[in-house]
Amino acid sequence: MEIRGNIKDNNLIIEVIGRLSGDYANRAEQLIRELSIGGDYEWTIFDLKELEYISSAGLRVIMRIYRKDKKLRIVNASPAGAV
């Protein structure tokens, strides 16, 4: 799992690469929170273009970020079974 953060047009773009499973969920949440510190972004955007797999623990990470910010979008998600 790799997490990259970019800022574009006052939006925080979070790219999740590889697998977001229970093994990495806590670390992923920590990294995402570190990326968002000090920023008053219009949106936090999860770009899942390169996400290979997400477990319920990975979904929980996204939901926790959503509950905190309420300004979250998900882009480039693959339909089930497409990967």
Per the domain annotation, does 13 fall within a domain?
yes
Per the domain annotation, does 49 fall within a domain?
yes
- State how far the Cα of 43 lies from the Cα of 53, in Å rounded to an integer: 24
pLDDT tens for residues 6-65?
999 999 999 999 999 999 899 999 999 899 887 889 999 999 999 999 999 999 999 998
Per the domain annotation, does 40 fall within a domain?
yes
Q: Are 34 and 65 in contact (CB under 8 A)?
A: no
Per the domain annotation, does 82 fall within a domain?
no
User: What pLDDT is recorded for position 2?
Assistant: 94
Per the domain annotation, does 21 fall within a domain?
yes
Per the domain annotation, does 80 fall within a domain?
no
Sorted by sequence, the CB contacts under 8 Å of residue 31 that are 6+ apart come out as 3
Q: Taking the model in full, what pTM does it have?
A: 0.86
The band of 68, judged by pLDDT with boundaries at 50, 70 and 90, is confident
- CATH at residue 69: 3.30.750.24
- State how far the Cα of 33 lies from the Cα of 77, in Å rounded to an integer: 21
Per the domain annotation, does 33 fall within a domain?
yes
Reduce the DSSP state of residue 55 to 3 states and report it.
coil
User: What pLDDT is recorded for position 81?
Assistant: 59
Q: How many residues does the chain have?
A: 83
Domain carrying residue 35? 2-75
